[in-house]
Structure 1
Amino acid sequence: MTDWRIAPLTANRVTELAACHIASWREAYDELVPAHILDGFDLERSAINWERRRAAGTHRLPIALAGDCLIGFAAATAGRSTSPVAELEALYVRSAWHGTGVADALIEAAAPGSPCTLWVFADYPRAQAFYRRHGFADTGDRRTDPFTLLPEQLWRREPG
């Protein structure tokens, strides 16, 4: 499957992004995140939150499209003079598109070669291997994710 492209998020695709986000969570985390959390997503509320980010212009929000279907997206804060380190807040690709290069293209579009951090679930080796391949390394910092209450690790990529 190589018939896909990367595009910026537009207002008319925000609800589709929210639906992709919810579906991707359910596909990726079905054995990690408790079912009541995965079942509790609200499409309308999620779309409102994503539209806020899009409208504020504080995030790079590339989406991946296969034909006219949104199959993945990323969200990263842009590095600023006060904090040149970007944060990759989201990177999700529908499971049917795993291994096709879509996630690689999304991470490059969201945080192109910049110093970057992200939080990854401590018990999710698939994501850790992906981020390691993209130059990220575990910093040793830990926290509990406020949404799932699962342990997370802070990873960082240096430029170059």
Structure 2
Amino acid sequence: MSEWSVVPLGAEHTRSLAECHIECWREAYRDLVPAHVLEAFDVDRRAEQWERNRVRYPGRTVVAVSEGVVIGFASGGTPLDESPVAAYELNALYVRSAWYGTGVAHDLMKTVLPENADTSLWVFEENPRARAFYTKYGFELDGERRVEAFTPAIEVRMVRRLNSAP
């Protein structure tokens, strides 16, 4: 497997990011999200959304790139919750399954997580792999639950406090 670099999302990455995003959802959530939802994702529409986000929220998303292809990404910034419990929110972290265990996710976390702010995130309750990964970075369940926006799946909130970060 080749090397990768983590860089800010640029216009040259949005299509590859859209492909990565859709592939990651299909790989990670095939048993959690109804098949018709996963099948409905459209690369062109997703690329347009990522381009709008790139322009509207510069610096919020970083991508891991190998040989010109986005293999993972992370997004974070000001919390989107109505009543945030932390100053920063990790909104997304995805890595293509072929790159699991290589350190790509670690590099993305290292780049996107702030060193000086508590951080929250939402993760599928029935995703023990992701929950275990976030626990390694000091995140703990805080008891909050909600229905995910696109599916009937339940998400749980995890929070990393500065005094508990690794």
Give me the TM-score of the superposition, normalised by structure 1.
0.91
1:109-124 superposed matches below 5 A: 109-113=111-115, 114-124=117-127
Distance across 2 between alignment mates of 1:58 and 1:143:
28
From 125, 147, 151, the equivalent of 2:150 is 147
**2:108 equivalent to 1:106:** yes
Distance across 2 between alignment mates of 1:59 and 1:40:
28
Distance across 1 between alignment mates of 2:55 and 2:75:
13
Residues 59 and 76, structure 1, Cα contact 8 Å, conserved in 2: no
Q: CA deviation at 1:78?
A: 4.5
Residues 8 and 59, structure 2, Cα contact 8 Å, conserved in 1: no
**2:135 equivalent to 1:132:** yes
Give me the TM-score of the superposition, normalised by structure 2.
0.88
Structure 1 residues 127 and 39 mapped into 2: Cα distance closer, same or farther (>3 Å)? same
Residues 139 and 156, structure 1, Cα contact 8 Å, conserved in 2: yes
1:61-80 superposed matches below 5 A: 61-78=61-78
Tell me the equivalent position of 1:34. 34
Tell me the equivalent position of 2:20. 20
Amino acid at match of 1:68: G
Residues 24 and 95, structure 2, Cα contact 8 Å, conserved in 1: yes
**2:8 equivalent to 1:5:** no
Question: Mean Cα displacement is larger for which, 102-111 or 14-23?
Answer: 102-111
**Alignment length, in residue pairs?**
157
Superposed CA deviations along residues 90-123 of structure 1, whole A, max 9, x for unmatched, are 1110000001110111112112323111100000
Residues 74 and 107, structure 1, Cα contact 8 Å, conserved in 2: yes
Match of 2:123, SS state, is strand
Tell me the equivalent position of 1:89. 91
Distance across 1 between alignment mates of 2:10 and 2:101:
26
Distance across 2 between alignment mates of 1:140 and 1:2:
40
Question: Mean Cα displacement is larger for which, 127-136 or 40-49?
Answer: 40-49
Q: CA deviation at 1:2?
A: 6.0
Superposed CA deviations along residues 23-58 of structure 1, whole A, max 9, x for unmatched, are 011111112211111101011221122112110125
Please, which runs of 5 or more residues in structure 2 have no aligned partner?
A: none
Residues 53 and 59, structure 1, Cα contact 8 Å, conserved in 2: no
Runs of 4+ in 1 over 4 A off after TM superposition: none
Please, which runs of 5 or more residues in structure 1 have no aligned partner?
A: none
